[in-house]
Structures are given as C-alpha cells and as structure tokens.
Amino acid sequence: MPQGTSLSATLNYQLTDFATGHMNDLKAAYDYAERICPTVRVPGSHGQYKKFDDVNSFQTYNTARAMGADPTRIEFAAEDEYYNCAPQALEVTVDEEERRQAGENNPVAQQLLDEGKIKAVLNAAALSYAFKRTNYVISNTTPVANRGNFSNPNIDPIDQIDEQLDVLSLACGSINFLKVTMDVSAWRIIRSHPLVKKRLVGVQVSEISIEQLKTMLLFPVDLMVASISYAGTNQGPVGGSGASTGEQAGKKRLLAGNILIHYSAPDPTLYDPSAFKCFVSGQSNVQAVRSYMAPNALYGGHIVDWSEDIEQTSQIAMVRLQLS
C-alpha cells in the first residue's frame, strides 16, 4: 500500500457487517483453530486472565453454609497474567479496471465485487488463525517421552492414547470436555495398525472408522481428524519433522504427525482452565473493514483489521504425542 494511503482509509460499516457474518461460514480452518486454541472476546486490548498451571487450579469446594455464616469463596490459586492484544491486518485491492468490467453503473455488481474481495481476505485470515494457533501450541508443548512410536507393530496406539486420557482426566478432575485432535497422517497410521484392527472382534475390515476408534478409547471423547493444509514456503514448522505421506511438494498439513489430547471448556472465558486461548478484541475476529482510494485513483482497497493475543493458559490441560 503506498505511503499515506492508510490515512485515507475510512470505516466501511456495510462491509464490516458482511465480514462479521462471513466468518461464521469458514468452518474447516476456523473450527479447527477454535478447537485447539479457542477465542475469548475481551472488552479491551489489555487486561488480566487466570493462568492454571498446577493441580490446585481444579478445586472442589464445600458448599454448605451455616445460618448467618458467609459462603465459601472461590479462590484462584494461579497467579494473574496479562494479555496484550496486538494489531493484525490483511488488505486486498480493487483495481478500477475490475470495477469497469463489473459494471460501473450497477451498484449490485459493485457490492458483489467488494464482498468477493472481502471473502478472499477472510479465507486467508481463517487459514492464518489455524496456522498461528497450531504453531503456538506445538512450540509450547513438549511431546510425551517414549510415546507415539506407532510405527512399531508391537505397540498399541490405543493403549498409549488411553494412558494420556487417564493422566489428563486425573489432572483436570473430570472426563468431561476432553478432546483428541490429530491430523490425517496420524489417523492413517492408527487405522491400519495391526493391534488396533485386532480390537475389532468378529468384524472383518481392512481399516477401522473414526466412529469405531471412539468406541475403543478409555471413555467418550470429542475426536477430530483435521486436514488443513498450507503452503510450506517460509512458514516454519507447525507439526512434526518433515512432510507426511501423501503431501504434495510445497504443501504441508497443520499438526502433521501429532496427536493433541486436551481439555477445553465450552464457551471459554478469562477464568476457565482450557489449555490455550486466543484473546481477541472485536466481534468474530473482525474489528473493522476500512476502505480507501489510492492517491493515483487507479485502484482502491479494503483493510480487515483485528487484534489478538495467543496465550498458554494451562500447562497441565494438554499433552502431545509426536508420532515416530
């Protein structure tokens, strides 16, 4: 964007409303990102949140109260931490030739052109959400030692996943809101593993289904097999080392070769012990759409901006298996 253009960008209320609504349609990448690092909308760009890094964070309380006595007060053992939402933005241009081709005197065509441009920006933003959150989660979790060696035909993947579910349920004090998230490469290894197939008593199948895998685990969990890919050039690692089987040159899958077993409360807030959170000011990760015309009048553009801060809010609410 040429120097000084940003000074002429003005808030576009109609496109801001459109962008806010369209974010709800970006299901695949957005739902995956929300799963491993849910969004918490905050009233301002700076504030405090509760960090849960020890087992005392998951307290039970005596709720009985004697006549005339004070109630039991909920206390947070974890220290308060600060979030600081940093500005984010993506831009797309609309050339004047594009407007002429769409029909300069057709307001409907012009609006559809602008909305199409905004969709392109938001599609890129959704993939950015998924990439950044995966990168942060992988960078801030250490794989469980001596686990994830599913290439060994004598080691049962289900036993290892069950073990971590047991550990996590003890740490969090509940089997509710536990999730298992893996990428396609991990799922391919598990569904073809001889010891996993052996669990299907009396059923002749070549590989198991996702629903069958759910019934094999220690207790019911929310299971997702994710298949979100991105162009790997200059992006850095967001999964295991190297590309997984079936990946194309220059394309990589998020979470490649990893399994996340994690606790994530529904409708997260500043005060629940979910493993990771993304604090965001603004609605639906869109704070505003600003439109401008370039000084040379040959093109205009739209800027989508928001602010966010990704934080690990509980070190004990997620474990990671890295496959080998």
pLDDT band for 243, please (50, 70, 90 cuts).
very low
In the chain, what are the helix, strand and coil shares in percent, each to the nearest 5? 35, 25, 40
Q: How many Å apart are CA 234 and CA 227, to the nearest integer?
A: 20
Could you report the per-residue pLDDT of 258-299, keeping only the tens digit for each? 999 999 888 899 988 899 999 998 665 666 778 888 898 899
For the chain, domains (ranges, CATH) are 5-56+79-322 (3.90.1690.10)
With tokens 């942060």, the residue in question is 136
CB 317 within 8 A of CB 52: yes
pLDDT band for 13, please (50, 70, 90 cuts).
low
| Positive or negative torsion for Cα 255, 259, 260, 266 | positive
Task: Give whichever of 9-23, 50-64, 289-303 has the largest mean pLDDT.
Answer: 289-303
* Residue 108: burial class (beta carbons within 10 Å; 0-12, 13-18, 19+): exposed
| Positive or negative torsion for Cα 172, 72, 48, 20 | positive
pLDDT higher than threshold 70 for residue 43: yes
pLDDT higher than threshold 70 for residue 103: yes
Rg value, the chain, Cα = 24
pTM: 0.79
